[in-house]
């Protein structure tokens, strides 16, 4: 059993949330290295001690995949990081990814009772810490798959939905093959989210873990053209097909000039930078309109807009400005 936090509840509630260390803004605005630097073991111990060990934890209720967060935090508090990572993987096949880019503030942390009067436990930062600790230790605690059911499942798309489904289905004993249209696996994790938020090496590591669990992958397969769903079911004898193609098409404003040179949808801009390696120019040919020493405007204010404007700044834009219709 993990060590129990014996600190009185009132004392736990007085502990201030540990903020994630970040790279200096003046430095990171000119490179694509990861912004968030991760918690230290000491900071993790302090943050995990804030958990109130609720009998009906709201964090678990609000987690889309039902991670046993209270048990994970108890193991972190006890310093058993590998066991904590293994416990995470029972319900979440991608902890190093979700610890970085999952919207915890609206999900698990949004359900934390501490958030009603202060700051919730930094569950995402704790998740990232143990996932990184596990990876660096080389002792990844992959869950054991159930005995084979003899069933074959095809998954169309290797983005977050496809990878998550693959991790769940392989554990249930099914044979799983993921079909990806592009040449790299990860979907929006590699073509949409910038390197400074989610390094490609992290995505590759989690995909490799799924391979070790038995998931099969095929790239450069456009389901509907290279092969149809009927062919997968009838000729390839798959018992089920899960379509996880995401929402990759852009929304245009339908205004004059939006198709001129130098005007991109955020989807195309981020794909050219992330998947085609424009951020590694001149090692890779830069497949975008040169924005160095130019003024860049991004229309919008959501996650994609923020990724685009920060990317433009890092590519050398003289100014990078968000234009947004709301306050």
For helices 200-213 and 160-171, the axis angle rounded to 10 degrees is: 20
Whether 1 has a pLDDT exceeding 60, the answer reads: no
pLDDT of residue 4: 63
Highest mean pLDDT among 216-225, 257-266, 282-291 belongs to 216-225
pLDDT band at 2 (very low <50, low <70, confident <90, very high): low
pLDDT of residue 275: 85
**Domain coordinates of the chain in residue numbers?**
9-137, 152-243, 266-323
pLDDT band at 252 (very low <50, low <70, confident <90, very high): confident
pLDDT of residue 151: 96
pLDDT of residue 3: 61
pLDDT of residue 50: 93
User: pLDDT per residue over 187-210, tens digit each?
Assistant: 999 999 999 999 999 999 999 999
Average pLDDT over residues 285-292: 80
User: pLDDT per residue over 119-175, tens digit each?
Assistant: 999 999 999 999 999 999 999 989 999 999 999 999 999 999 999 999 999 999 999
User: pLDDT per residue over 22-72, tens digit each?
Assistant: 999 999 999 999 999 999 999 999 999 999 988 889 999 999 999 999 999
pLDDT of residue 279: 79
What is the value of pTM for the model shown? 0.90
For the domain with range 9-137, which CATH number is right: 1.10.1060.10, 3.40.50.720, 1.10.150.530, 1.10.3210.10?
Answer: 1.10.1060.10
pLDDT of residue 197: 95
284/61: higher pLDDT: 61
User: pLDDT per residue over 75-94, tens digit each?
Assistant: 999 999 999 999 999 999 99
Topology of domain 152-243, CATH: FAD/NAD(P)-binding domain (3.50.50)
Alpha carbon distance 11, 49 (integer Å): 10
8/174: higher pLDDT: 174
């Amino acid at each position: 059993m993990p060590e129990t936090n014996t600190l009185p509840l009132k004392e736990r509630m007085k502990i201030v949330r540990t903020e994630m260390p970040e790279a200096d803004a003046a430095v990171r605005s000119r490179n694509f290295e990861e912004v968030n630097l991760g918690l230290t073991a000491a900071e993790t111990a302090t943050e995990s001690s804030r958990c109130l060990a609720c009998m009906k934890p709201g964090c678990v209720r609000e987690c889309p995949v039902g991670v046993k967060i209270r048990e994970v935090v108890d193991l972190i508090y006890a310093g058993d990081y590998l066991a904590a990572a293994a416990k995470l993987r029972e319900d979440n096949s991608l902890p190093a990814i979700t610890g970085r880019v999952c919207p915890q503030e609206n999900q698990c942390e949004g359900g934390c009772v501490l958030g009603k009067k202060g700051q919730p436990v930094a569950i995402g930062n704790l998740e990232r810490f143990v996932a990184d600790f596990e990876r660096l230790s080389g002792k990844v605690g992959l869950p054991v798959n159930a005995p084979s059911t003899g069933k074959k499942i095809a998954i169309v798309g290797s983005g977050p939905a496809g990878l998550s489904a693959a991790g769940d289905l392989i554990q249930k004993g099914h044979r799983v093959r993921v079909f990806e249209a592009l040449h790299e696996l990860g979907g929006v994790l590699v073509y949409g989210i910038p390197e400074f938020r989610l390094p490609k090496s992290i995505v590759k590591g989690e995909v490799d873990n799924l391979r070790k669990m038995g998931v099969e992958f095929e790239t450069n397969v456009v389901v509907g053209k290279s092969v149809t769903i009927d062919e997968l079911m009838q000729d390839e004898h798959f018992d089920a097909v899960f379509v996880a193609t995401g929402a990759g098409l852009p929304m245009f404003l339908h205004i004059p000039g939006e198709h001129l040179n130098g005007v991109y949808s955020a989807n195309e801009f981020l794909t050219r930078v992330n998947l085609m390696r424009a951020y590694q120019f001149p090692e890779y040919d830069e497949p975008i309109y040169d924005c160095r020493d130019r003024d860049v405007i991004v229309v919008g204010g959501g996650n994609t807009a923020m990724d685009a404007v920060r990317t433009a700044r890092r590519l050398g834009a003289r100014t990078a400005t968000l234009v947004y219709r709301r306050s």
